[in-house]
A and B are shown apart, each in its own frame.
Chain A
Amino acid sequence: MMAGRGRASRGRLQQLLPAVTIFVVAVVGGAVSSPYFLDVDSLLFHTGRYVEVGLLALALTVVIVHGDIDLSVASNLAFSAAVLGLSFQAGAPIWVASLVAVATGAVLGALNGLIVTRLGVPSLVVTLGTLALYRGMAQIALGDQAITGYPSEFLGSDAILVVGPVPLPLVLLLVAAVLFWVLLERSTFGLRALMIGSNRLASRYTGIRTDLNRFLAFTLAGLMAGAAAVLVTSRLGSTRSNLSLGLELLVITVVVLGGTDIFGGRGTIFGTLVALFAVIAVREALAINNVNGQVQDAVIGLVLIVTVAVPLALARHAPTRRARATAIHGPQAAAGTPPIGVEKGTQ
């Protein structure tokens, strides 16, 4: 028992290693290359610009642990923000409009979940469709216009400092992370999620309502997209249909970098959080050195490939079965349980 736990926690540390390494390298690199980088107030303030990435990554961790994916989160965010803006324009008080936006996000997420579980269509296909659909809906709803003129008490939530230099979005993100940690790692919902992601068919045979669990995960992702829409609108003070265009790639990068298995069955909230700060550190270190957008995108892409592909590639040449199993299926598999994931995708 003791040995098993020791092995498991060591495995968990190993999964965090890429994210922690990237974080440390980016911070050291930023500090060495620019005298302006290590400015704690600024750095903390800048994390506020990533709050939507964080909220979506937390929710997506749960979805991906189930063995599913949701590519539509950024489009959902844009449509929820459009609904917020249009309800406000139609005369709704801003807090009502915000609640409507959160509800809209949840409904769109639930719609993903329904199509995936009821019709049995792979989530990659469903959410690839709703990625375009929800963005299109936002474009139809808003057209070329930008909605502005939000009340001043609603704006600038990102500039509110809660404790010392810690801004409100960061606090909200950390609170959300604790809630998601409880959900994924301390609740039966989370335990079921891990089992479903490891082997959906077997989970179903043991009596787990796999579809209900997966549906809830999609709904939750939608809910977070709606909440993120409110925070983004408060920060920018304007709503356009191309809001957060392409953000899903950064979100998925964060989840995978955090050690979550893209095929499901393994993943931690702490890992996602560390990966988020690693990605923030990389982007901010590059920005302070006036590195252009194209290069930043390329670096983030490279980091993702290195994190995911290199362990698999090296495992091919690994001398032992155990090393191979660890790289592909995580340390639990290497510890003696048979390889998992064979039946994945059959249901």
Chain B
Amino acid sequence: VISVRKAVALATVAVIGIVLSGCQAAPEGKEGGTGDGSIRVVYIPKNLGNPYFDNIVAGFNEAAADLDMTVEVVGPAQAGATDQIQYIESAIQQKVDAIAISPNDNDALVPSLQRAMDAGITVIAVNSDMNPDGRQVAILPVDFSILGSFLIDLTKEVTGGKGEFAILSATSTAPDQNSWIEGMKEVLAAGEAPDLKLVDTVYGDDAPDKSANEAAALLTKYPNLSAIVAPTTVGVAAAAQIVSSSPSKGIVQVTGLGTPNEMRQYVKDGTVKAFALWDPKAEGILAAYLIAAITSGEIEAEPGARFSVPGLGDLTITDDGQVITGPPVTFTADNIDNFDF
């Protein structure tokens, strides 16, 4: 009897021991743990295994090497509203200098992030904004307020300006996705694309399999569909994959926001005419320089503060406490081979 229990205990000890010993080495290998700088930063992406956020991490790491900064990257498996809280609390306990976070929720993270700021930790939101009570500065990749009309222009460009289209989004609660979709609807309501009709908005939760299922369902549900617009990198790649292997290839256009490396094959095989994005790596670089400027006391994290970032020039914190990284980039067969991310 005892030996059975002993075996259980030993097995458990072994499992946990392996994991704990492994976790020390793991972060250095792939994502983060660069340098042993004096500024300690934790970056919490929406979820891990998302190439988009891997590019932000790459920017962080590149800049950290020049900035006497250590960046650890840690995050949840799913992009649920409260899944990031554990990592915020853990960063507070580790007494880091700064937390950079790509928030999954406008409000649910605010109590934890306020606790971080109370503990003297610099908190910035990266890639999408949140309730301003929860962060000092937000870094936005582009001027998001123009993104709704930008996506409608892109849809006009690939469809010739008429037909039915559907939106494939990430989670139904993602603040950035929802504000862009709202922006698209406003442009349509203003009559700027009179022959385009939005027939449905579906959610793939930024999971490749679910996004693919949703895209396939759209093709079945709307036989007259002209385009699927996915303002998320996971969704647009999944939709392109479904359409490229379906009879709708060349009839249903796929566009939205995607990374060149994921979309290259679908541009080459004719499924995708054009899609867009910005450079997430630039956001990571900007985040690192902003954190360095704030933690060193060079600037206050307040509207009007100016700082410069190599390659991005002089930037200003806006009245809303935001920093805009740059304009969006449209990728087509002509220019896609100039990009590698």
A:27-61 near B, CB below 8 Å: 29-30, 32-34, 36-37, 39, 42, 45-46, 49
Number of interface residues of A (CB under 8 A): 70
Contacts of A236 in B (CB 8 A): 82, 107-108, 111
Residue-by-residue, is A290-319 near B (CB-CB < 8 Å gives 1, otherwise 0)? 111111110100110011001100110010
* B296 contacts A by Cβ under 8 Å: no
* A242 contacts B by Cβ under 8 Å: yes
* B95 contacts A by Cβ under 8 Å: yes
Known A-B contacts A46-B89, A236-B108; A314 and B4 likewise in contact (beta carbons under 8 Å) = yes
Residue-by-residue, is B1-33 near A (CB-CB < 8 Å gives 1, otherwise 0)? 110110111011101110110011011000010
Our pick among B1, B26, B47, B173 for the contact of A291 (Cβ within 8 Å) is: B26
Question: Shortest Cβ distance from A296 into chain B, in angstroms?
Answer: 8
* B208 contacts A by Cβ under 8 Å: no
Question: Shortest Cβ distance from B200 into chain A, in angstroms?
Answer: 14
Smallest CB-CB separation from B92: which chain A residue?
A42
Contacts of B9 in A (CB 8 A): 17-18, 21
Contacts of A288 in B (CB 8 A): 90, 93-94
Smallest CB-CB separation from A234: which chain B residue?
B111
Task: Let me know if B178 and A144 touch, CB within 8 A.
Answer: yes
Task: Let me know if A245 and B78 touch, CB within 8 A.
Answer: yes
Task: Let me know if A289 and B4 touch, CB within 8 A.
Answer: no
Known A-B contacts A238-B107, A307-B12, A310-B11; A299 and B19 likewise in contact (beta carbons under 8 Å) = yes
Question: Shortest Cβ distance from B92 into chain A, in angstroms?
Answer: 7
* B74 contacts A by Cβ under 8 Å: yes
Q: How far is the CA of A322 from the CA of B19 in the complex (A)?
A: 34
Q: How far is the CA of A39 from the CA of B93 in the complex (A)?
A: 8
Task: Let me know if A242 and B12 touch, CB within 8 A.
Answer: no
Contacts of B8 in A (CB 8 A): 17-18, 21, 306-307, 310-311, 314
Number of interface residues of B (CB under 8 A): 55
Task: Let me know if B15 and A293 touch, CB within 8 A.
Answer: no
Q: How far is the CA of A2 from the CA of B20 in the complex (A)?
A: 43
Task: Let me know if B48 and A294 touch, CB within 8 A.
Answer: yes
Our pick among A144, A244, A295 for the contact of B172 (Cβ within 8 Å) is: A144
Contacts of A18 in B (CB 8 A): 5, 8-9, 12
Our pick among B7, B15, B24, B82 for the contact of A302 (Cβ within 8 Å) is: B15
Task: Let me know if B105 and A240 touch, CB within 8 A.
Answer: yes
Residue-by-residue, is B47-83 near A (CB-CB < 8 Å gives 1, otherwise 0)? 1110000000000000000000000111111101111
Question: Shortest Cβ distance from B74 into chain A, in angstroms?
Answer: 4
Comparing A198-206, A223-231, A277-285, the segment that makes contact with chain B is: A277-285
Task: Let me know if A291 and B108 touch, CB within 8 A.
Answer: no
Question: Shortest Cβ distance from A250 into chain B, in angstroms?
Answer: 12
- Beyond contacts A244-B82, A286-B19, A293-B83: 8 other A-B pairs, Cβ-Cβ < 8 A, are A18-B12, A22-B12, A36-B93, A235-B111, A237-B110, A291-B23, A295-B23, A295-B26
25 CB contacts below 8 A, A to B, read: A14-B5, A18-B5, A18-B8, A22-B12, A33-B20, A33-B23, A33-B24, A42-B93, A49-B86, A155-B111, A156-B111, A237-B108, A243-B81, A286-B19, A288-B90, A290-B72, A291-B23, A291-B74, A293-B77, A294-B49, A295-B26, A307-B12, A310-B7, A314-B7, A331-B1
Those 6 A-B pairs whose CB atoms lie nearest each other, nearest first: A293-B77, A238-B107, A293-B76, A287-B90, A29-B20, A290-B74
